[in-house]
Amino acid sequence: MSYRIMIVDDSRVVYAEMKKMLEGSDIEIAGFCRSGEEALNEYENIHPDLVTMDIVMPGMDGLNAAEELLKRYPEAKILMVSSLAYDDMIDKAVEIGAKGFVFKPFEKDALLKVLMDELQKN
């Protein structure tokens, strides 16, 4: 079974890195949005199985975008992606309803595991 994810990150480096690491896996990148605002507009069109959401972005940051996305689409599965890994940030992400955290810089095995664990739930 293959899965479709949507990447939300202002950096195309993250898209390129994920694309490289997901090659040969069951995960397809169905969408790439470079801001929280774009993610809110595109989610319904792309309707991904999972969203990876950067935290530090210009304009609406990832936490606000995730919160808004979950208000509109409570079924959305969101993993926060950041190098900001302090306790309060993680607590806030969980409180909003994010399913987990992926830490930068990515390590291929860890990234695949976190994504697949979440995608295979339910």
Among 26, 41, 83, 94, binds another protein (CB under 8 A): 83
What's the chain's length in residues?
Answer: 122
SS3 72: helix
How many whole angstroms separate alpha carbon 34 and alpha carbon 95? Answer: 24
Question: 8 and 33 in contact (C-beta within 8 Å)?
Answer: yes
Per DSSP, the three-state class of 9 is coil
Among residues 40, 57, 80, 93, the one that binds another protein under rule CB under 8 A: 57
Q: Which x/- pattern, by CB under 8 A, does the window 7-46 give for another protein?
A: ---xxxxx-xx-----------------------------
**Interaction site with another protein (CB under 8 A):** 10-14, 16-17, 56-58, 82-89, 104-105, 107
